[in-house]
Amino acid sequence: MTPIAEISRKPQEQFFDVINESMLIRRHMQLFMWLQGDLQKILPHDVLLVAHGDFSKGKIRYDIISAVRESRNTGIFHQDIEDLVTGLFDRWVSHGRTIYSLETTSGVILNNACQCNLHRTLRGMRSIMVQGMRDERASIDVLYIVFRANEHFTDSNCRMLEILLPHIDFATRRISNLTEKPDANEIKKQAGTESSSITARESEILRWVSNGKTNYEIGIILGISPFTVKNHLQRIFRKIDVSNRAHAVSKYEEISRHQHQ
């Protein structure tokens, strides 16, 4: 039985949605929302660190994607984090370049006493999962390090990372330079709309949702991608404090009735 066959039907649908969305990623914010959005349902994590380069020569770059904005994509060189990455890489090689996980009782140990957000975030991580791949064309290795603060990684999590890694790798490689500031204007725009009222486009999307249309169908109707539809819905959910489509439609109809009374 293959790992995918072990997944129940509903998670299978989530799995294929996540893969489809990975192919639509073009910008930093899309990558962040994908990694911190639906991907969390099938591969929960707090921080993703991507290290790439010639590890044998110490020529390594790394990118960090985290829900803690100040600790991601900093582009800052930290010797102690490179030492951590190199140690995890060496362990991966000694494991025959196969996936492994580690548990720490006191969090990730860093030699530097730095108290920046990046260091504080990593010190709070107590579970680590590591997998990598060799890029023979570029003659480099790429190491993916996944961190969790409060939960252990299970064998199922390890299998899921193995399945998803080619898609995660594909998505991250579509972004030219993760260390650049990730769509600052888009972040500000999004933050500014979180607390505002439902927009005309969001109302339109909710109307089609209430008619039973899928994200794919709504995307065709409105001339946007299913990924964009999902991003709109996630913002709507946060604005009106709901967790699913049915509740969103119900609450929006209730809000609309009050506005017209």
**In the 3-class helix/strand/coil scheme, how is 65-97 assigned residue by residue?**
EECCHHHCCCCCCCHHHHHHHHHHHHHHHHCCC
The C-alpha atoms of residue 105 and residue 36 are separated, in whole angstroms, by 25
Q: Which residues pair with 54 in a beta bridge?
A: 59
What pLDDT was estimated at residue 195? 42
Q: Which residue has the tokens 């010190």?
A: 123
What pLDDT was estimated at residue 92? 96
The whole-number average pLDDT for the span 180-190 is 46
Q: Which domains does the chain have, with CATH numbers?
A: 4-173 (3.30.450.80), 195-259 (1.10.10.10)
Could you tell me the pLDDT band of residue 214, with boundaries at 50, 70 and 90?
A: confident
- CA angle, corner 121, sides to 45 and 143, nearest 5? 55
**Tens-place pLDDT, residues 18-35:** 888 888 787 777 787 788
Q: Counting beta carbons within 10 angstroms of the beta carbon of residue 34, is it exposed (0 to 12), middle (13 to 18) or buried (19 or more)?
A: buried
**Tens-place pLDDT, residues 241-259:** 777 788 788 887 776 666 5
Could you tell me the pLDDT band of residue 69, with boundaries at 50, 70 and 90?
A: low
DSSP-based three-state secondary structure for 173: helix
Which of 111-115, 141-145, 212-216 has maximum average pLDDT? 141-145
In this prediction the pTM is 0.67
The C-alpha atoms of residue 177 and residue 172 are separated, in whole angstroms, by 9
- pLDDT > 60? residue 1: no
What are the percentages of helix, strand and coil residues in the chain, rounded to 5? 55, 15, 35
What pLDDT was estimated at residue 148? 93
What pLDDT was estimated at residue 260? 57
Longest dimension (CA), the chain: 70
- Of 38-42, 136-140, 176-180, give the lowest mean pLDDT range: 176-180
What pLDDT was estimated at residue 213? 87
The C-alpha atoms of residue 42 and residue 17 are separated, in whole angstroms, by 11
8 A C-beta contact, residue 64 and residue 48? yes
